[in-house]
Amino acid sequence: MTAALSLALPLWVPVLAASSTPQAQPVILVLGDSLSAGHGVAVDATWVALLQRRLTMQGYGYRVVNASISGETTGGARPRLPRALNLHKPDIVILELGGNDGLRGLPLAQVRDNLAAMLTQAQSAGAHPVLVGMRIPPNYGPEYAEQFHAMYSELAKRFKVPVLGFFMDGVALNEKLMQPDGIHPTAQAQPLLLQNLWPVLQPLLKK
């Protein structure tokens, strides 16, 4: 979750195509920050790339499009989502956002409103959103940190969407799985990130 944008994938480029006719495939759109853009990790080693491989190997005919940008906030992603929805017409939208907002101590009402707007946009476009929750250190006090984490489950209940409680579970506190900056997971951590998400995502998949 850094401000550098160099590792962001273009909005219109799929991570991997599972067949020679990707236009006929349903799309999973990933809208996230550096955890999904793959800061410090080779593109083909990110959890998003691993997701595409797993889907292909298990016979799911989905094409994964990564619209994540390192340093992204909910306020930055919110105006980008309508174009992505119109361009890719995804069946599923994975929203992995909010960590940068929390690290900057942005007002939770603002973060909540942005996430709610994106959930509304996705559902209005006929997509099934998946909300990926995060935890933040108590830099701005334990109350802010707890309310930040609770926000994800509250939104999931309100919009009746699946939610992953903590994307970095089993990774964030393991120094061997974190890059020297202490913020970004290593390539070795990417399979664990996918494993954390898979039980929430898999029930939405169709073969």
Q: What is the pLDDT of residues 49-94, one digit of tens each?
A: 999 999 999 999 999 999 999 999 999 999 999 999 999 999 999 9
Q: What is the pLDDT of residues 158-173, one digit of tens each?
A: 999 999 999 999 999 9
Residue 17 has pLDDT above 50, yes or no: no
Residue 7: the pLDDT is 34
Q: What percent of the chain has pLDDT over 90?
A: 88
149 is catalytic: no
Q: What is the pLDDT of residues 106-147, one digit of tens each?
A: 999 999 999 999 999 999 999 999 999 999 999 999 999 999
Q: What is the mean pLDDT of residues 36-47?
A: 97
CA distance linking residue 130 with residue 51, whole number of Å: 14
CA distance linking residue 7 with residue 42, whole number of Å: 9
Residue 5: the pLDDT is 32
Q: What is the mean pLDDT of residues 41-50?
A: 98
Structure token pair of residue 141: 């006090």
Catalytic residue chosen out of the listed positions 34, 36, 68, 70: 34
Q: Which of 77, 103, 94 is nearest to 184 (CA)?
A: 103
With beta carbons less than 8 A apart as the criterion, state whether 8 and 70 touch.
yes
34 is catalytic: yes
CA distance linking residue 73 with residue 70, whole number of Å: 9
15, 16, 160 from 38: Cα distances, Å: 12, 15, 29
Residue 207: the pLDDT is 86
Residue 149's Cβ-count burial label (10 Å; 0-12, 13-18, 19+) is middle
């491989």: which residue's tokens? 53
With beta carbons less than 8 A apart as the criterion, state whether 33 and 99 touch.
yes
The sign of the CA dihedral 191, 152, 202, 87 is: negative
Catalytic residue chosen out of the listed positions 19, 124, 153, 181: 181
Q: What is the pLDDT of residues 178-206, one digit of tens each?
A: 999 999 999 999 999 999 999 999 999 99
CA distance linking residue 34 with residue 15, whole number of Å: 15
Q: Is the pTM of this model over 0.85?
A: yes
DSSP state of 39: T
Domains of the chain by range and CATH? 14-201 (3.40.50.1110)
Amino acid at 172: A
184 is catalytic: yes
DSSP helix, strand, coil percent of the chain (3-state; round to 5): 45, 15, 40
If DSSP codes are grouped into helix, strand and coil, which group holds residue 30? strand
Catalytic residue chosen out of the listed positions 39, 88, 128, 184: 184
